[in-house]
């Protein structure tokens, strides 16, 4: 929704300002130049990306135009509480006691208390995969850390593919607008025998190409690339929280201290305070 609002602000500011100076909107209506710019941008996008990047970009675009559910403080508190329960159980009964929970989280009495997290399949897969490695024993914290880092880097690389694709298109659009403008000028100069007023109109129409290229680049396409990068960065926080908490436990910290490590990596807007988390963990203990 914010994307649509932002686009309306862009259009209102640009065309509203143009109207205030007495601009003629008819001169801006150049569908052929728009076709040249948009068509060449689409062609460059296809040439510059493989099938996976194109597919990922096409899937990402509709999601950007509507509000997506954000991971909030309540969800992170539930995640930290779940991690506390699992680590406390492993510390008390041995990590092998978690084997049945990790192998079948959907039917686990521990995981079933956190239905929102169970529905987040990528996070559950990340958590259970590394708990499974820890349960198997003989795990070196450094090796687990490196493996987590590599998996998160792979996730980030794949998730940011649409952002890189759109950024390159955004960078190309001003130049493609100049191409359309040059062709318009060529057309105008080829009609040099026309009256000056008509020549002026043709050149004005040609300059619309530069305007459209710059507007589409910096007002529409490039902001989408930036938005995707922000969303990817935000989505990585939950994996970083799991990573830091598990590594703290592997390094010998008590469960309550381990979840405190995980709390510290969260953004300030979603991070529960120490007191809030402590009270929530106490409630979890009494369930």
Residue 284, pLDDT > 80, answer: no
Between the two ends of the chain, the Cα-to-Cα distance in Å is: 39
Q: How far apart are CA 199 and CA 185, in angstroms?
A: 10
How many residues are given for the chain?
Answer: 287
Cβ within 8 Å of residue 227, ≥6 positions away: 3, 64
Q: Are 83 and 242 in contact (CB under 8 A)?
A: yes
Q: How far apart are CA 206 and CA 30, in angstroms?
A: 9
Alpha carbon 184 to chain centroid, angstroms: 38
- pLDDT-derived band at 71, boundaries 50, 70, 90: confident
Percent of the chain with pLDDT over 90: 53
Residue 156, pLDDT > 70, answer: yes
pLDDT digits (tens, 9 = 90+) for 75-101: 898 899 999 999 999 888 888 888 888
62-100: b (≥16 Cβ within 10 Å) or e: eebeeeeeebeeebbbbbbbbbbbbbbbbeeeebeebee
pLDDT digits (tens, 9 = 90+) for 200-246: 888 888 899 999 999 999 999 999 999 999 999 988 999 999 999 99
- CA dist 126 → 27, 178, 229 (Å): 55, 47, 21
* pTM of this structure: 0.84
pLDDT digits (tens, 9 = 90+) for 163-203: 999 999 999 999 999 999 999 888 888 877 778 888 888 88
> What token pair was written down for 33?
């130049």
Q: Are 81 and 244 in contact (CB under 8 A)?
A: no
Q: Are 158 and 56 in contact (CB under 8 A)?
A: yes
């Amino acid at each position: 929704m914010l994307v649509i609002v932002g686009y309306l602000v862009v259009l209102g500011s640009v065309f509203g300002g143009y109207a205030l100076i007495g601009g003629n909107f008819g001169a801006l209506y150049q569908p052929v130049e728009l076709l040249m710019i948009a068509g060449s941008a689409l062609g460059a996008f296809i040439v510059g990306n493989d099938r996976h990047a194109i597919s990922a970009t096409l899937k990402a675009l509709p999601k950007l135009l509507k509000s997506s559910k954000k991971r909030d403080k309540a969800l992170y508190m539930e995640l930290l509480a779940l991690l506390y329960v699992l680590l406390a159980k492993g510390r008390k009964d041995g990590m092998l006691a978690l084997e049945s929970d990790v192998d079948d989280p959907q039917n686990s009495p521990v995981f079933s208390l956190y239905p929102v997290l169970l529905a987040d399949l990528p996070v559950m897969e990340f958590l259970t995969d590394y708990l499974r490695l820890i349960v198997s024993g003989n795990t070196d914290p450094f090796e687990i850390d490196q493996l987590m880092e590599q998996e998160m880097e792979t996730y980030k690389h794949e998730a940011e593919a649409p952002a890189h694709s759109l950024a390159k298109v955004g960078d190309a659009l001003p130049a493609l607008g100049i191409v359309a403008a040059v062709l318009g000028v060529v057309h105008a100069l080829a009609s040099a025998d026309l009256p000056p007023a008509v020549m002026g109109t043709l050149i004005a129409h040609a300059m619309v190409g530069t305007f459209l290229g710059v507007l589409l680049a910096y007002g529409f396409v490039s902001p989408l690339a930036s938005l995707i990068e922000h969303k990817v960065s935000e989505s990585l926080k939950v994996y970083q929280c799991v990573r830091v908490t598990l590594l703290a436990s592997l390094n010998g910290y008590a469960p309550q201290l381990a979840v405190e490590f995980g709390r510290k990596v969260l953004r300030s807007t979603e991070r529960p305070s120490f007191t809030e988390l402590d009270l929530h963990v106490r409630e979890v203990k009494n369930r």
